[in-house]
Structure 1
Amino acid sequence: MHILFDLDGTLTDSRPGIINSIRHSLAENQLTVPEADALLWCIGPPILESFRKLVGPDQPHLFDPTVTKYRERYSETGIFENEVYPEIVDTLAELRQLGHTLHVATSKAEIYAKRIITHFELDRFFTSVNGSELDGTRADKAELIAHILLQQGISPAEAVMIGDREHDMIGATKNNLPAIGALWGYGTGKELMESGATLCARVPHLLPEMISSLE
């Protein structure tokens, strides 16, 4: 089976780097800086989508500057304010031993995703690491999953998506893939089930058994 993993909130807890970089960007552009907990909704969706909401329609001239400031800090510092979730390494190893092929499917810019996967030595588990372009191309999860299926020659019948937010579940459903919600991430069980999750896993070590039940 081909298993597509989201990155932020699924493989790694990326909250500090993303939130710190967003708050830095807003401050640098003299915009209101929300408390960290008020920005948790930004973890998961494409970052360009988040900044469109943060900047708002009344100040479109600040969109590009805020994205630039975010990427300046994130690419140097924020990218490493991040850690692999407990049980992930052992779970990935078990899935590989069971004969599954693993792929990363993230709305994050691919250039950053590859650096993160390599930095945490997770690249040994993954056949491909897939993300968006900096201009937002393939940031939509449905578009990204379709791209991966095409590029890797994967049939939807032999794949499953694992992620922690509604975008992952919706993207999988649009491509006729089953999806497993990662409850250790940033989405709620209600969000995941209402957006199309086939199953939800409370912790990573439950994934091998759940995936077997889908085969």
Structure 2
Amino acid sequence: MTHYEWLLFDLDGTLSDPAEGFINCMNHALEFHDFAPRPADELTPHIGPPLEQTMAQLSGSSDEVLIRSMVNKYRERYGETGYVENTLYPGVAEMLENLCSNDSVRLGVCTSKRADFAGRILEQFNLRHYFEFVSGGDVGIAKWQQLEKLLAEECISTQALMIGDRHFDLTAAHKNHLHSAGVLWGYGSPQELQEHHPTYLFSSPAEICQQF
């Protein structure tokens, strides 16, 4: 078994379920810009990718000014109430506590969500102390670039495993020559994850503990 110095976790769809806040904030942004609100089943597949990609798809526009305005309006509500509308997946807190008892592994978060929002969510669930850092994204920054920066600044080593629920997490790892793991309790389908050849595929947080 490969030894990993670092386990890097995605946040949305991996540690916590953001669906309620995501849907409410997305519709807040859409309606403010005179677009019709969307039902939950149309919005939840967009959980995971950077917001600007989602806004471009939902609006059907490539206008950078409009996209930035929509992202800002989303974040306006998210910063006020949206981040609270998160639920922790069962078993996550226990998983992190068990992993932290292993002195040979270190934990970090790498999320497309803005770092301050991610930090608030982790604090809300009393999880922040488990992680040595929280790497957050912003408009125009892809997750693979976040990992590239973490490696370049020697915040992590090449013995890192990226763990997430969407193919973006897996491809970001592979682009940086890192191993990846998919989780099946989030928003990526088994087919989506398997197509990108993760080193591991976990069906529960407890399985991660058993592996490491």
CA shift, 1:141, in A, is: 1.3
* Structure 2: tracts of 5 or more residues without a match: none
Q: TM-score, normalising length from structure 1?
A: 0.90
The separation in 2 between residues aligned to 1:60 and 1:106, in whole angstroms, is 22
Partner of 1:209: 210
Counterparts of 1:74-93 in structure 2 under 5 Å? 74-93=78-97
Q: Sort the Cα spacing of 1:195 and 1:74 in 2 relative to 1 into closer, same or farther, 3 A.
A: same
* Structure 1: tracts of 5 or more residues without a match: none
The separation in 2 between residues aligned to 1:58 and 1:97, in whole angstroms, is 47
Partner of 1:71: 75
Q: Which 4+ stretches in 1 moved above 3 angstroms? A: 58-62
Partner of 1:142: 144
CA RMSD in angstroms comes to 1.6
- Work out which of the residue numbers 108, 118, 122 in structure 2 matches 1:103: 108
CA shift, 1:209, in A, is: 2.8
The separation in 1 between residues aligned to 2:195 and 2:87, in whole angstroms, is 28
Q: Give aligned-pair identity as a percent.
A: 38
Question: 8 Å contact 2:6–2:157 — kept in the other structure?
Answer: no
- Work out which of the residue numbers 25, 29, 33 in structure 1 matches 2:33: 29
Q: Which amino acid aligns with 1:77?
A: T
- Matched residue SS, 2:192: helix
Count of matched residue pairs = 207
Q: Sort the Cα spacing of 1:90 and 1:49 in 2 relative to 1 into closer, same or farther, 3 A.
A: same
Q: Residues 8-46 of structure 1, C-alpha deviation per residue, up to 9 Å, x if partnerless?
A: 000100111011100121112210222111111220001
Counterparts of 1:38-77 in structure 2 under 5 Å? 38-57=42-61, 62-77=66-81
- Matched residue SS, 1:34: coil
CA shift, 1:63, in A, is: 2.4
CA shift, 1:153, in A, is: 4.1
Q: Does 1:120 align with 2:125?
A: yes
- Matched residue SS, 2:182: strand
- Matched residue SS, 1:38: helix
Q: Residues 80-124 of structure 1, C-alpha deviation per residue, up to 9 Å, x if partnerless?
A: 100111100110111111121000000111121112112221111
Partner of 2:136: 131
- Matched residue SS, 2:57: helix
